[in-house]
Amino acid sequence: DGGITQSPKYLFRKEGQNVTLSCEQNLNHDAMYWYRQDPGQGLRLIYYSQIVNDFQKGDIAEGYSVSREKKESFPLTVTSAQKNPTAFYLCASSLRDPSSGNTIYFGEGSWLTVV
């Protein structure tokens, strides 16, 4: 089945540790995105990539890093520099960038909790 797969669904991180959230899509989409969701604040864009080996910072990129070595994969690393990482993280993809009205499709999300 075509879709976006995020793993793990639940992840616990100790203070000072880096963790990586996986995102894989088999939709042949060019653009991929990472959003952070906190209660009552909607979705905030962390990073996005419109092509392999290229990505841009979103509104809240500090403390996060990404890579786009393959079209299908866009992993997100939450570094120890991110002071408040506990949140629900959503990966998404679209055929092209949204300026052409392309729909963004979402994965099922990953919960990250700092313990």
Partner 1 sequence: AQSVTQLGSHVSVSEGALVLLRCNYSSSVPPYLFWYVQYPNQGLQLLLKYTTGATLVKGINGFEAEFKKSETSFHLTKPSAHMSDAAEYFCAVSENDMRFGAGTRLTVKP
Query: Judged by CB under 8 A, which of 2, 15, 40, 54 binds partner 1?
Result: 40
- Angle ∠(80,112,49) on CA atoms, nearest 5: 75
Q: How many other CB atoms are there within 10 angstroms of residue 83's CB atom?
A: 8
Stretch that binds partner 1, among 11-19, 43-51, 63-71, 76-84 (CB under 8 A): 43-51
Q: Which window, 13-21, 33-41, 66-74, 79-87, contacts partner 1 (CB under 8 A)?
A: 33-41
Contact residue for partner 1 among 8, 18, 69, 98 (CB under 8 A): 98
Q: Is residue 54 within the footprint of partner 1 (CB under 8 A)?
A: no
Residue 113, classed as helix, strand or coil, is strand
Q: Are strands 76-78 and 54-57 parallel, antiparallel or unpaired?
A: unpaired
Give the count of beta carbons closer than 10 Å to the beta carbon of residue 64: 21
- Contact positions toward partner 1, by CB under 8 A? 4, 6, 33, 35, 40-43, 45, 48, 58, 90, 92, 97-99, 101-109, 111
